[in-house]
Amino acid sequence: MADKVKNIDVLFNPLSKNNPVVVQVLGICSVLAVTAKLEPAIVMGISVIAVLAFANVIISLLRNTIPTNIRIIVQLVVVAGLVVIVDQVLKAYAYDASKQLSVFIGLIITNCILMGRLEAFAMGNKPWPSFLDGVGNGAGYAVILIIVGFFRELFGSGTLLGYQVIPESFYEAGYVNNGLMILPPMALIVVACIIWVQRSINKELQED
């Protein structure tokens, strides 16, 4: 029963109380880069979930055989291999999204969330909890990307997933898309708003 509760915490804590982006402040660079539109934000989030979950499992399986002095190299090789697979799958089945993400899929290799979870969790835990940790932290990252992408595309372009959402009558009445929303600095402002809301809800995260 204790293991079940622990696994639930491992899976769900990164979605809120221990979110890798708004609590640990990791992976911010890609939040700035890929959230001007909702679709690439979703695709990037799913890609990170897949890479992190399977990388965690692989490193967990190998943890007792990896020499300490080369563990970072092994982790990088595992992540790089998985990123190449994800990149090829996207090119085959979601080519437009792959083009929008461009080099940022490859830069998953340098995402500090991945290296942090491999080093802090997968190297010391069994495969199943490591898988849950990967899914949880990847989902926590993806949720922030999707929220930021939602607001930036809605108010910056008037669309969601490429479909016009704001009625044409609004534009005829004088409504104008907010061009600032599609610029990288606005991603930081949206993330800051999410941090404010999240810390207002979770009082234990507030600093004295």
Q: Place 11 in a pLDDT band, splitting at 50, 70 and 90.
A: confident
Both structure tokens of 157:
């372009």
Q: Place 55 in a pLDDT band, splitting at 50, 70 and 90.
A: very high
Asked if pLDDT for residue 5 goes beyond 80, the answer is no
Name the residue type at position 20: P
Q: How far apart are CA 200 and CA 38, in angstroms?
A: 26
The confidence score (pLDDT) of residue 147 equals 93
pLDDT tens by residue, 27-52? 787 777 788 889 989 999 999 999 99
This model's pTM is above 0.75: yes
The confidence score (pLDDT) of residue 50 equals 94
Q: Place 179 in a pLDDT band, splitting at 50, 70 and 90.
A: confident
Mean pLDDT, range 161-178, rounded to an integer: 89
Q: How far apart are CA 129 and CA 52, in angstroms?
A: 13
Q: How far apart are CA 62 and CA 58, in angstroms?
A: 6
Asked if pLDDT for residue 186 goes beyond 60, the answer is yes
